[in-house]
Amino acid sequence: MKIDTIEIYPYKKYDKPRLKKIDISNICHSSEILEFIQEQYVKLYKTDSPQELITETLKKIASILKCEDAFLAINEDENRFNYYSMVMSIGGMSMTSSSESSENNVVIPKHTFTISSDNLLSRPLAKKRGVISNDMSKDPRKSNKIPNVHPILKNYLGFPIFKDNTCLGLMGFANSEKGFSTKDYKNLITVSYFFRNFIELLNYGSEGISISQELKAKQQLVSLKDSFIASMSHEMRTPLNGMIGMARLLHDSQPLTVKQLEYIRVLMECGVQLVELVNDILDFSKITSGNLKLNNYPFNLESTINSAIDIVKQRAEDKGLELKVEIQKGIPEYLNGDSRRIKQIVINLLCNAIKFTDNTEDKKGKIILRVNYSNIIEDSFKRKIIITVEDNGIGIKKEDQTKIFSVFTKVGVNKNTSQGAGLGLAISRELSKLMDGDITLESELDVGSIFKLEIILEDESILNKQAENTDFLGKKIIIVDDSEDNRIYLLNIFIKWGLNVTIFSTAKECLNYLDNTKNDKFDLAILDIYMPGMNGIDLAQALRERGYSQPLIGLSSIGESIQGREWFDEFETKPISKSHLFNIMLKQLLNPSKVSIKGKTKKGKNIRIILAEDDYYNQILFKEMLESLGYFNLKIVNNGKECVDLISKEYFDLCFIDIKMPIMNGIEAVKIIKKMPRYPPVIAVSASVLETDKSLYYSSGMDGYIPKPIDKDKLEQILKSFS
Ligand code: ADP
């Protein structure tokens, strides 16, 4: 069914809602939305967490529309709707405490969403049209009987999702800065198509939504295709290189006629083009399947840039183009990163600039490569590197400017030429994203283009200088990791920092060494979590049981469950950046006595617990649960600020902290707590079950996580491991 009518209030000078017909063939003018939804389609065929994908999509679209709240309600069964995901802001819509009314929450009962035209939220379903209300408080469409409009909801845009005559769901956005417009509605059509396809590929059960068999099968096909492409392109390179090599030999085997030489030259050129294409396809398939891992080694940016210039300068010279390089003075001498991939991006941008620039009668073709940097306020070890490639060539039309970053896209006059496959920019942009950056473009037809690459890299020199100035020299570090690459990576860093390193590839080797040598003193150990045989958690426990109280750092490749964390002083997710590693080492090596004592001593049920929670009922509930488990030593505070204040004054063994609190939230508080000279392990208490949120908790310094509503068994498990 085509939803091509919207009901708007207020609309121009009218004080009654007006119907407006929209042309839905002319959809989505927002390249940001288009590009984003394209990415989401790729993820759709990989995800095993539909809930996460829905939330991520809503959050991003809400940020593009500059509104605070968003939701997707799915019609599960005969017009019974379930909200599966809501983006919430303080004071906005909330589904977290579905059946409770609290001051800031609009109460939308979880499973009883009925279609009613009096209810502004569900009106789009009842009327089968879009609904925009830019003044919810005065909107005449709402019923007086149904208090469905909370004063905090300023405005609302509801988009029904139908397939033929079947209603699949409802997508809603609320509390926009400027209010919603017809244009916003049109831009959302692409998003509604995405959700329509998505909803059809889900299963609904009592546990919630999950991936259907159909989607699973599709996902398997996609992953099979990815690995097929990856292995095929890999296999193709060997014979291709053989052919080029042979052609080269043939070229050198005189005597040959001029014609024969020309044939061989073309043969070699085609061969090289084919190898480049295969490399590009391999890169792209690796990126899309998430298998491309970047290196993180020190390199000199200036020489990387110069070697990129060396490769392309002949091409510029052949076309009589001017090629200039300007590198900002004082650029860090050594940065950490993947120099090969940075060079690949720069070469791609330069080759394009050369390809699409010519000398004309009235202007000389000119290409300027500029390299600049700036410091990043939040992180003194990191630098933003800005590389721009400017040309005065053919330029790119406005409407083509986002297209060129998509795969196999060529635009303008070169559309049909055989040069390039249109993969270069797509790969470059993906690579830049892997480096926490992006590539942007400013261009004008017939005037020229400026491609700007911005990436974030660590300044190796600053790190080493810091390490020199600290008292690391001679400290003994143990590394236990089954991956040789990881061992070497850490070893190289630590040696530079003047540390004395002993490495083991299994937990057993490490324990044998410590059990059999008298000289068993070490200052800190870094343990990989996933190892064959005895894993890192069991090793940490074994070390603690042998009486080692030195700092232990756990390194894992995915967000971990809480179990076993208590044996460690720090728990980190790989890949760990050097600057972060440095900060941890600094803290753990130089202030070991100050850190928390989790897992090192056992205190039983007498431990002192602090709970930071703003909701009174949740406070009572928590207290009762604790007491029923035999833990009576509890202090309760109402927000993060009070929690920080109390921990700075009093000793606690364990802290439970709610994430969403007024004045200071849990994330802000834990960051401060972890900088204190002494602090307890901190457990996040939150209703969000998203992996992304969980990893945010851990990266902010939380030692554990317990979901709301609190499960008594889980709580007991946590208490036991920390007491
Ligand atoms: P290709 O391998 O075809 O060069 P890219 O992804 O690198 O693929 O570029 C895609 C398209 O973007 C090019 O075919 C061209 O149409 C356009 N383009 C890229 N760089 C420039 C430039 N500097 N000036 C004009 N057009 C450009």
In a shared domain, residues 562 and 693? no
CB of 394 shorter than 6 A to ligand 1: yes
The share of the chain scoring above pLDDT 70, in percent, equals 85
Closest CA to 229 of 274, 271, 281: 281
Averaged pLDDT for residues 534-549: 86
Ligand 1 atom with least separation from CA of 451: 23
Residue with the bigger pLDDT between 377 and 150: it is 377
CB of 158 shorter than 6 A to ligand 1: no
Residue 479 has pLDDT above 80, yes or no: yes
Q: Is residue 42 situated within a structural domain?
A: yes
Q: For the chain, what percentages of helix, strand and coil (3-state, to nearest 5) are there?
A: 40, 25, 35
In a shared domain, residues 263 and 382? no
pLDDT in tens, 667-718: 999 988 887 767 888 999 887 766 667 778 878 888 888 887 788 888 888 8
What is the CA(404)–ligand 1 centre distance, in A? 7
Question: Which one-letter amino acid corresponds to residue 57?
Answer: T
What is the CA(411)–ligand 1 centre distance, in A? 7
Other beta carbons within 10 angstroms of residue 124's beta carbon come to 27
pLDDT in tens, 342-377: 999 999 999 999 999 999 888 899 999 999 999 887
CB of 420 shorter than 6 A to ligand 1: yes
β-bridge partners, 337 = 297
In a shared domain, residues 476 and 583? yes
649: containing domain? 604-722
Task: Using alpha carbons, list the distances in angstroms from residue 545 to 520, 539, 680.
Answer: 15, 10, 21
Q: Which of 204, 226, 259 is the endpoint of a domain?
A: 204
Q: Is residue 45 situated within a structural domain?
A: yes
Domain count, the chain: 5
CA angle 410, 414, 418 (to 5 degrees): 85
CB of 68 shorter than 6 A to ligand 1: no
What is the CA(367)–ligand 1 centre distance, in A? 15
Closest CA to 371 of 442, 473, 301, 444: 301
CB of 126 shorter than 6 A to ligand 1: no
Measuring from atom 4 of ligand 1, which residue has the nearest CA?
Answer: 420
In a shared domain, residues 227 and 197? no
Q: Is residue 560 situated within a structural domain?
A: yes
Measuring from atom 19 of ligand 1, which residue has the nearest CA?
Answer: 352
β-pairing verdict for 476-480 and 448-459: unpaired
Closest CA to 642 of 664, 619, 670: 664
CB of 279 shorter than 6 A to ligand 1: no
CB of 425 shorter than 6 A to ligand 1: yes
Residue 105 has what pLDDT? 34
In a shared domain, residues 425 and 485? no
CB of 357 shorter than 6 A to ligand 1: no
What is the CA(347)–ligand 1 centre distance, in A? 13
Averaged pLDDT for residues 265-271: 87
CB of 17 shorter than 6 A to ligand 1: no
568 — pLDDT class (breaks 50, 70, 90) = confident
CB of 365 shorter than 6 A to ligand 1: no
CATH of the domain at 644: 3.40.50.2300
Q: Which of 319, 389, 425 to mutate to test the pocket of ligand 1 (most atoms within 8 A of CB)?
A: 425
β-pairing verdict for 552-556 and 570-573: parallel
Task: Please state, in angstroms and rounded to a whole number, the distance separating the CA atoms of residues 592 and 596.
Answer: 9
Averaged pLDDT for residues 455-466: 85
Residues in CB range of 112: below 8 A, 6 or more apart: 80
Measuring from atom 12 of ligand 1, which residue has the nearest CA?
Answer: 404
pTM (predicted TM-score) = 0.55
In a shared domain, residues 377 and 249? no
In a shared domain, residues 628 and 651? yes
Task: Please state, in angstroms and rounded to a whole number, the distance separating the CA atoms of residues 309 and 296.
Answer: 22
Residue 292 has what pLDDT? 79
Sign of CA dihedral 120, 126, 127, 131: positive
Q: 3-class DSSP state for residue 683?
A: strand
Closest CA to 615 of 645, 584, 659, 653: 659
In a shared domain, residues 373 and 414? yes
Averaged pLDDT for residues 409-419: 58
CB of 448 shorter than 6 A to ligand 1: no
pLDDT in tens, 641-651: 999 998 887 77
Measuring from atom 8 of ligand 1, which residue has the nearest CA?
Answer: 422
Ligand 1 atom with least separation from CA of 414: 16
Task: Please state, in angstroms and rounded to a whole number, the distance separating the CA atoms of residues 526 and 499.
Answer: 13
Task: Please state, in angstroms and rounded to a whole number, the distance separating the CA atoms of residues 60 and 572.
Answer: 27
Averaged pLDDT for residues 46-62: 86
Other beta carbons within 10 angstroms of residue 452's beta carbon come to 17
Per the listing, tokens 């809602």 go with: 17
CATH of the domain at 442: 3.30.565.10
Q: What is the DSSP letter of 489?
A: H
Measuring from atom 18 of ligand 1, which residue has the nearest CA?
Answer: 352
Task: Please state, in angstroms and rounded to a whole number, the distance separating the CA atoms of residues 99 and 102.
Answer: 10
pLDDT in tens, 505-522: 999 999 988 888 766 678
Task: Please state, in angstroms and rounded to a whole number, the distance separating the CA atoms of residues 540 and 526.
Answer: 10
pLDDT in tens, 315-325: 999 999 999 99
In a shared domain, residues 507 and 564? yes
* 417: Cα separation from own chain's centroid: 37
Torsion angle defined by CA atoms of residues 672, 676, 682 and 684, in that order, rounded to the nearest 10 degrees: 0
Q: Which of 410, 445, 449 to mutate to test the pocket of ligand 1 (most atoms within 8 A of CB)?
A: 410
What is the CA(716)–ligand 1 centre distance, in A? 60
Whether omega before 147 lies within 30 degrees of 0, making that bond cis, reads no
159 — pLDDT class (breaks 50, 70, 90) = very high
In a shared domain, residues 101 and 19? yes
Q: Is residue 334 situated within a structural domain?
A: no
- Looking from the CA of 685 toward its CB, the CA atoms found within 13 Å total 24
CATH of the domain at 225: 1.10.287.130
Q: 639-645 — which CB contacts under 8 Å span 24+ positions?
A: 639/612, 639/614, 639/663, 639/664, 640/612, 640/664, 640/665, 640/666, 640/668, 640/669, 641/669, 642/612, 643/610, 643/612, 643/669, 643/673, 644/669, 644/672, 644/673
CB of 404 shorter than 6 A to ligand 1: yes
In a shared domain, residues 71 and 47? yes
89 — pLDDT class (breaks 50, 70, 90) = low
Q: Is residue 465 situated within a structural domain?
A: no
The share of the chain scoring above pLDDT 90, in percent, equals 26
CB of 294 shorter than 6 A to ligand 1: no
In a shared domain, residues 303 and 283? no
pLDDT in tens, 63-80: 999 988 888 888 877 666
Whether omega before 10 lies within 30 degrees of 0, making that bond cis, reads yes
CB of 117 shorter than 6 A to ligand 1: no
Q: Is residue 28 situated within a structural domain?
A: yes
Per the listing, tokens 């059960």 go with: 205
Q: Is residue 244 situated within a structural domain?
A: yes
pLDDT in tens, 606-626: 788 999 998 887 888 888 888
CB of 422 shorter than 6 A to ligand 1: yes
Q: Is residue 64 situated within a structural domain?
A: yes
Whether omega before 255 lies within 30 degrees of 0, making that bond cis, reads yes
Task: Please state, in angstroms and rounded to a whole number, the distance separating the CA atoms of residues 588 and 586.
Answer: 6
β-pairing verdict for 654-658 and 704-707: unpaired
pLDDT, averaged across the chain = 82
CB of 421 shorter than 6 A to ligand 1: yes
Q: Which of 433, 459, 485 is the endpoint of a domain?
A: 459
Q: What is the DSSP letter of 113?
A: B
Residue 428 has pLDDT above 90, yes or no: yes
Q: Which of 422, 439, 459 is the endpoint of a domain?
A: 459
